Amino acid sequence: MKPMKNLLLMGLLSALGAGGALAAERSHFTHFITRDGATLKDGDKVFRFAGIHAPELHRIEDDARGPCRADPRGWGQYFKWPTAQEQQNWIQAMVQTGAKAQRVYVLSVQQEFDKACGRETHILAPETADGMPRLNEKAMRVYDNMIAEADKQGLRLILPFIDHWWWWGGREQLAAFYHEKAEDFYRIDSKTFKAYLDVIRQVITRTNTVTGRAYYDEKAIMAWETGNELEDTNADFLHQTAAWIKKWAPHQLVVDGTYKKINSFALTDPNVDIVSNHYYTNADNNHPGQVTQDLRAVGGQKVYLVGEFGLLPGGSTERHYAVDCSQRGQPGRKPPAGLSGASAVIVTTAASTGIRSRPGHYSYHLPGFAKEGEANQEQAVVDLVRTAAAQMAGQQTMAPLPKPEAPLLRETTSPFAINWMGAAVGRSYDVERAASPTGPWTVVGRDISDGVNEWNPETMVLFRDDYRQLQLGHTYYYRVTAKNESGRSAPSNVISVQHSEENQPPVVTLEPALTTTQDQGVELTASWQDDGLPSREVKVGLAARRRWLGAFLPCRSGSNPGPGLRRQAPMR
């Protein structure tokens, strides 16, 4: 499935470690994650996990910009690359809420509408007709940093190569490079399959520009997945792909990235370590019984991964987890053969950049926000995942959140547009103002949330100071503190802002003058612009002059088209 924001993705895993090659930078990890039968291990310890997962950790769907009209598919989104700060923040949020591993989304593939939409991808078209696809160095440096940051903070990664679907560009777009069809991707004598294998080689043998290590030496990479929901996977395709991955990455695991079924040929392939399935209502398999059925089919021959499940309310999600976690990590109880862990997917886009989910789709924000995420039971779902992580570790309840670290206050030119990058596990924030950089400080904003869904950074801000409390021409200093149930952070960095915005009257624009008769009305359309000061509220209406009818309508400020106002003929 496409990485929709309200997906719950679940990954079931375990692990052993093997020694890594010499690296330019010391790894956080001692061992690779490896497989012992149907169990994953980290060294000699069984590796199980439950946690939060971000499919957009290496490429952001820029929903705030809306669809690209140059893309006739209608869905065609804009994208952007996350900053190193954002990647660090998101991974920290996952780890501090109990995650040990996560599965990200695929590598994006160039397609015909990208140029018109200004979109960049990981995989570029070949330079010659029979050439191989190329990796976009700019995109791969973002990928490099994701891996490096995961290693630094102790998070294992599952990395799929190519998508069955077209959302980010997938097999269809790869085949288009060679004038072949999407189904040729699965045919091992096709040019598309040859290109797919070469992409795998290029990625695995890449040298990470941050760590100095080859990808095949990155212990943070737990597993390579053949792709996302490759539902037409056949025995020849999987056999050659898995062997090819193992040739270049002998110390890392291989996942059969299929969909809707367990491939019997995967269970006997010596190069396949993990088998996977995804669970959705439209596939008629989104229930705990299917997990049990798949486990029986696997029969303890491989590690089993529930790669995705979602679009479920909290109670149904809990029943899914009950199948996976009830026997795991409990003293004296043996886990189901092959079932080793669980990971839930979340999108955690920082308030400094913002995210606007499409109608019907949601973002889950860590550490969970009860009020803002009420529509998709966000707090219940996040707490469920944290509890599952604790049970995987043999504990009965989830550990308390750590006290948040200081947020990062962004520079601004206006006291009415103050934003910050939230602390990884901060639930709310207090804003303080002072007349000097050293204080004394006055709290001017309390319990501010950065967990808002449908956040649009072009039109929304986290905090606006009170115009009536400020003096024109004066310089003010601000800092922010993060809070959660475990305590308060240290104050953020301090920024200075000179107040230079004098309140201006709204500017109203009407259509050109119109004429009417005594017994007919004419509709006038008005628009207005306002500076949003001293507040965002604007009253719009018709004045009751010269016996004209009128009414006032409360409206939000900004650059807005006015309501359709019908100006009636004068009364006589």
Q: How far apart are CA 275 and CA 269, in angstroms?
A: 11
Q: How far apart are CA 568 and CA 554, in angstroms?
A: 21
Q: Residue 340: what residue type?
A: S
State whether CATH 3.20.20.150 applies to domain 7-392: no
Q: Say which DSSP state 429 is in.
A: E
The mean pLDDT of the chain is 82
* CA distances from residue 390 to 59, 261, 341 in whole angstroms, order as listed: 30, 30, 11
CA distance 273 to 307: 14
pLDDT band for position 349 (cuts 50, 70, 90) = very low
pLDDT for 313 equals 53
Q: Is 85 helix (H, G, I), strand (E, B) or coil?
A: helix
Question: Is the model's pLDDT at 359 over the cut of 70?
Answer: no
Closest Cα to residue 495, out of 480, 482, 481, 477? 477
Spell out the residues 6+ positions from residue 39 whose beta carbon is closer than 8 angstroms to its own.
14, 16, 46, 303, 338, 340
Residues in Cβ contact with 538 at an 8 Å cutoff, skipping those fewer than 6 apart: 506, 528, 530, 554, 555, 556, 557
Residue 335 · residue 306 · CB < 8 Å? no
Q: What local confidence, expressed as pLDDT, does residue 254 receive? A: 98
- Residue-wise burial string across 31-54, b where 16 or more C-beta atoms lie within 10 A, e elsewhere: bbbbbeebbbbbeeebbbbbbbbb
Q: Answer yes or no: is pLDDT of 316 > 90.
A: no
Given CA atoms 33, 39, 44, 49 in this order, what sign does their dihedral have?
A: positive
Q: Is the pLDDT of residue 162 over 60?
A: yes
Position 150 scores a pLDDT of: 98
Q: Is 170 helix (H, G, I), strand (E, B) or coil?
A: coil
Name the DSSP class of 207.
Answer: B
Q: What is the pLDDT of residue 159?
A: 97
Of 84 and 567, which is predicted with more confidence?
Answer: 84
Q: pLDDT over 90 for what percent of the chain?
A: 55
7-392 and 408-498 agree in CATH topology: no
8 Å CB contact between 513 and 532: no
- The ranges assigned to domains in the chain are 7-392, 408-498, 507-567
Positive or negative CA dihedral for 551, 556, 558, 560?
Answer: negative
At residue 335, does pLDDT exceed 60? no
Q: Which CATH class is domain 408-498?
A: mainly beta
pLDDT digits (tens, 9 = 90+) for 416-437: 999 999 999 999 999 999 999 9
Structure tokens of 271? 């190069």
Residues 6+ apart with CB under 8 A from 30: 17, 43, 219
Structure-token pair, residue 195: 């290109």
User: How confident is the model at residue 42, as a pLDDT?
Assistant: 96
The residues with which 305 forms a beta bridge, in sequence order, are 276
User: Is pLDDT above 90 for 294?
Assistant: no
Strands 428-434 and 442-448: antiparallel
